[in-house]
Amino acid sequence: MSLTLYYHPLSSFCMKVLIALYENDIPFTPRIVDLMDEADRAAFLKIWPVGKFPVLRDEGRNRIIPETSVIIAHLDRHFPGRTRLIPEDPDTASRMHVHDRVFDNYVNQNMQRVVFDRLKPADQRDPYGVGHARAHLRTTLDMIEHDIAGKTWIMGDDFTMADCAAAPALFYADKIIPLKDNHRQVAGYLGRLVRRPSFMRVLKEAKPYFDLFPKDDAA
C-alpha cells in the first residue's frame, strides 16, 4: 500500500485521522508506535524527529505528512471518496476550519492537559494549570452547545473534517466534564458521533487500550 499511518489507537489526534480514513475506505498500512519502547521510538524519530503522531507516509508522492488537519486535507485531495471532508465552497470550508481548530485547540488540548497531569507524580502536578484548562474547556463547550443546536453535524447535514476532530475530543472530554450535566446538545452530538460507523470502528480498535487512560484520583 502507498499509505502508511504511524499512530497509536488510544490517541485522540490519531483517532481523528483514522475516522477520515475509514469514512472513505482508504487503504493504508497501520503502524502502531509505542513511544515507551526505545527501539520503536528511535525508528519513529527517524521518520519524524518531532516525535508526535499521527504521521502519514505517502510512498506514491514521496511525502511525510504530519499534523491531523494537513493529513486529512491530503487525503481529501488525493484520495476522495463518498464523504468529502473539506467543503468545496471556500466560505463554507473556512467556517469548517474554524470548528476544526476549536475542537483541536480548545477541546482536545485542554482535555489532554488535565489527563496528562494525572500521569505526573503527585509532587509535580499543576492544580492551577489544570483548573485553567477545565475553565477553558467549559467555556468552549458552552460555545459548541450553541453552535450544534438544531444540527446533525457541526456544519449542518454534511459530515466534515471538523466532525472527525470533534468525535475523539468530545469522547474524552466527556470523561473530564460529563456532558449530560450542563451540555445536553453537545451530549446528543457525541451520541450521534459514536454511532457513526467510522468512529465505531475507531473505538472498537482502541478498546483494548482504554485501561491505560488515567483515572481521576478523586474518582
Q: Do 30 and 105 belong to one domain? A: no
Note whether residue 29 is domain-resident: yes
**Confidence check: pLDDT of 210 > 50:** yes
Listed in sequence order, the residues at least 6 apart from 24 whose beta carbon sits closer than 8 Å to its beta carbon are 75, 79, 80, 81, 82, 83
Give the tens place of pLDDT for each residue, 52-91: 999 999 999 999 999 999 999 999 999 999 999 999 999 9
- Return the C-alpha cell found at 136: 477553558
The interaxial angle of helices 161-176 and 197-206, nearest 10 deg, is 50
Cα–Cα distances (Å) from 11 to 17, 95, 116, in that order, read: 10, 26, 12
Note whether residue 133 is domain-resident: yes
- Residue-level pLDDT at 149: 97
DSSP letter string, 158-199 = S--HHHHHHHHHHHHHHHHS-HHHH-HHHHHHHHHHHTSHHH
Q: Do 144 and 54 belong to one domain? A: no
Note whether residue 85 is domain-resident: no
| Number of domain units in the chain | 2
Q: Do 106 and 182 belong to one domain? A: yes
Using DSSP bridges, classify how beta strands 29-32 and 3-7 pair: parallel, antiparallel or unpaired.
parallel
CA dihedral 195, 197, 201, 203 (to 10 degrees): -20
Give the tens place of pLDDT for each residue, 93-144: 999 999 999 999 999 999 999 999 998 898 899 999 999 999 999 999 999 9
Q: Say if residues 216 and 118 touch (Cβ distance below 8 Å).
A: yes
Note whether residue 201 is domain-resident: no
Q: Do 66 and 21 belong to one domain? A: yes
List the domain range (segments joined by +) for residue 21: 3-78
Q: Which of 78, 108, 125 is the last residue of a domain?
A: 78
Using only C-alpha atoms, what is the Rg of the chain? 17
Give the tens place of pLDDT for each residue, 26-62: 999 999 999 999 999 999 999 999 999 999 999 999 9
- Residue-level pLDDT at 1: 60
**CATH number, position 9:** 3.40.30.10
**Confidence check: pLDDT of 219 > 50:** no
- Residue-level pLDDT at 217: 52
- Residue-level pLDDT at 213: 87
The interaxial angle of helices 184-194 and 197-206, nearest 10 deg, is 80
- Predicted TM-score (pTM) of the model is 0.95
